[in-house]
Amino acid sequence: MSNPLRDGVESLELTTQLTLGVLALASGVYTYLGVRDLLDGNAAIVFFAAIIYSAAVSVGIYAFWTFLMRFTPHVRDMKSRVMLFAAMLLGSGMIIAMSSWLNAAALAGSAALEQHLATTLKAYTRDLDRAHNAALATQSLLPDIQMASTRFARLAEAEREGSLTGTAGSGTVVQLLSQMSVQLDGLRQQVVESGENVKELYAEGGARLAKMRELVSGEGPVSRRSDAFATEATALLGIIAALQQTSVAASVKRAAQDLAAGFIAPVAGGRSADLAERQTAVVSRVEEAVAAQSRALAEAADEILTAPQIEPTQFQPLSTAEAVLLYGGDFIPSWAGAISIDLMPAVLVLILCVVYAVIRRDGVQLPDATTMTAAEMMAALRFVRELEREQAATMPLAPDTPSVASAAGVARDAPADAPAAESARVSGPGAAEGKAVADMSADAAVQSKSSEPNVTPLASARGIAKD
């Protein structure tokens, strides 16, 4: 199981590098698109500044994940591995801060700006309706004013026939009632004119809102549509302010208070004392009626005036990056994609950690373990042969027994493509293992020679080699 894993790691080395390069390049492209909208000034300066920033981001992301892929899988002690993972978390946060949110701005910036325009349009629609309703609230006083005017006019007509004083004619009482009716009728006409003005302003505000809706859902660059939207919003704010100023509630309140405060009872003009007395009594009742009507109108107008003042929404132009941050909750998929481009190599780091852990657990030596080059192997063989020559020179040889030099010669005559010399890099702890491998190679060579005639048996060659 470990050998296929080790072979897989080696074969996927190029794929891993290409994957890192492509992800870093993609992040750099989207970072360029996002940072370009944040910069202001000369077009050439903006272009080069955005290119330099995006290139720095790409190089930083590539180097960061390359370092982690190289080092993290080979760190075994827990403390060092925890520190590396902490560095990975810190670097991931820095990548999100310098790249991911700009990637999200490039992916969903236009949609976020349209969302901002739609939200602002909704607020302006609400403000216009509130201002219109507040202006129309004064119109609710119109029926009361008209009824009071009509009542005083009817009483004047009735008094001409003598219904109030018992004497027909157009004397003091008729003049007083007619005067009250005329004053109230003038107040009614003022409220009616105010209503016509409110209707015109509301129609103009509705036209502005229709134009703003077209800009929100229209085609073309969203930045240009945002500028046109801001122009329409400014005009709409003026309409809302005009609607608030057209309210005649304050005028109605002042007029109602003047009805009672400015009431002057006329002197009875009856030809007889009895008629004058009846006229005075009727005038007193009319004064009471006028005071009651004045209080009712003043209270109704005061309720309108005490309503909270409307604070229209102020349109705030935003860049694509600011819109993505403000309305981030509405674009979670775009945020997920932008962050995944930058942090996907973290998954590769974890995969490599798991694979190398399995290789170590199965006891297969890792590619980065202690190795021995072919040159080191040849030096070890030469050292063994020198030792054999020294031993052969100091030890007496039995008759018919081949010398150590002959055994060494047999070893020298071994095929040059023996396994020990063929390998470019042979695993081993050092020179001691090299000597052991050399002994094994010599034994194999002697065994090969022993099969020929007039050659000492394999056991004799092994004995000489051991001595």
Is the separation of the CB atoms in 79 and 11 below 8 Å? no
pLDDT score of 16 more than 70: yes
Average pLDDT, stretch 436-451?
45
Q: Report residue 50 as tokens.
A: 């955005």
pLDDT of residue 23: 93
pLDDT of residue 396: 57
pLDDT of residue 420: 38
Give 304-342 pLDDT, tens digit per residue. 777 777 788 888 888 887 888 888 888 888 888 889 999
Torsion region of 466: left, alpha or beta (phi above 0 gives left; psi -120 to 50 gives alpha): alpha
pLDDT score of 77 more than 60: yes
- Element spanning 372, H or E: strand 371-373
Torsion region of 311: left, alpha or beta (phi above 0 gives left; psi -120 to 50 gives alpha): beta
Give 45-76 pLDDT, tens digit per residue. 889 999 999 999 999 999 999 999 999 888 88
Per the prediction, the chain carries an average pLDDT of 75
Give the rounded distance of the alpha carbon of 150 from its chain centre: 64
pLDDT of residue 21: 93
pLDDT of residue 139: 76
Type of residue found at 4: P
Type of residue found at 26: A
Q: Report residue 461 as tokens.
A: 């060659």
Q: What's the DSSP call for residue 463?
A: H
Is the separation of the CB atoms in 218 and 121 below 8 Å? no
With a pLDDT cut of 90, the percent of the chain lying above it is: 16
Average pLDDT, stretch 393-409?
51
DSSP code string of 103-143? HHHHHHHHHHHHHHHHHHHHHHHHHHHHHHHHHHHGGGGHH
pLDDT score of 3 more than 60: yes
Is the separation of the CB atoms in 285 and 265 below 8 Å? no
- Least confidently predicted of 36-45, 380-389, 419-428: 419-428
- Least confidently predicted of 144-158, 178-192, 245-259, 421-435: 421-435
pLDDT of residue 57: 93
Cβ of 172: how many Cβ atoms within 10 Å?
A: 22
Q: Report residue 353 as tokens.
A: 């950690």
d(CA 136, CA 120): 24
Q: Report residue 236 as tokens.
A: 């709409």
Alpha-carbon distances of 436 from 12, 381, 384, rounded to whole Å:
35, 10, 10
Query: Any residues with CB less than 8 A from the CB of 416 and at least 6 apart, and which?
Result: none
Give the rounded distance of the alpha carbon of 360 from its chain centre: 42
Helix 172-217, helix 101-137: angle, nearest 10 = 160
Give 133-173 pLDDT, tens digit per residue. 888 777 777 777 777 777 777 777 766 666 555 555 566 66
pLDDT of residue 172: 63
Look up the pTM and report it: 0.58
pLDDT score of 35 more than 90: no
- Element spanning 59, H or E: helix 43-71
Q: Token pair 């990637």 is at which residue?
A: 103
Q: What is the dihedral sign for C-alpha 285, 291, 296, 301?
A: positive
Question: What's the number of CA atoms in the CB half-sphere (13 Å) around residue 392?
Answer: 19
Q: Report residue 305 as tokens.
A: 């005036």
d(CA 53, CA 277): 99
Average pLDDT, stretch 384-401?
73
d(CA 101, CA 366): 40
Query: Any residues with CB less than 8 A from the CB of 68 and at least 6 apart, and which?
Result: 84, 87, 88, 91, 345, 349
Q: Report residue 65 as tokens.
A: 């994940």
pLDDT score of 404 more than 50: no
- Least confidently predicted of 42-46, 303-307, 423-427: 423-427
Helix 431-450, helix 458-466: angle, nearest 10 = 150
pLDDT of residue 244: 81
Helix 222-245, helix 172-217: angle, nearest 10 = 170
pLDDT score of 432 more than 90: no
Give 268-298 pLDDT, tens digit per residue. 554 556 666 666 676 677 767 777 777 777 7
d(CA 117, CA 318): 10
Query: Any residues with CB less than 8 A from the CB of 201 and at least 6 apart, and which?
Result: 135, 239, 242, 243, 246
pLDDT of residue 144: 76
- Among 41, 152, 115, CA closest to 320: 115
Give the rounded distance of the alpha carbon of 231 from its chain centre: 27
Is the separation of the CB atoms in 310 and 124 below 8 Å? no
- Among 176, 384, 411, CA closest to 285: 176
Alpha-carbon torsion, ordered 448, 454, 457, 462, to 10 deg: -70
pLDDT of residue 274: 62
Average pLDDT, stretch 119-145?
84
- Among 349, 127, 357, 317, CA closest to 229: 317
Cβ of 174: how many Cβ atoms within 10 Å?
A: 20
Q: Report residue 413 as tokens.
A: 């005559």
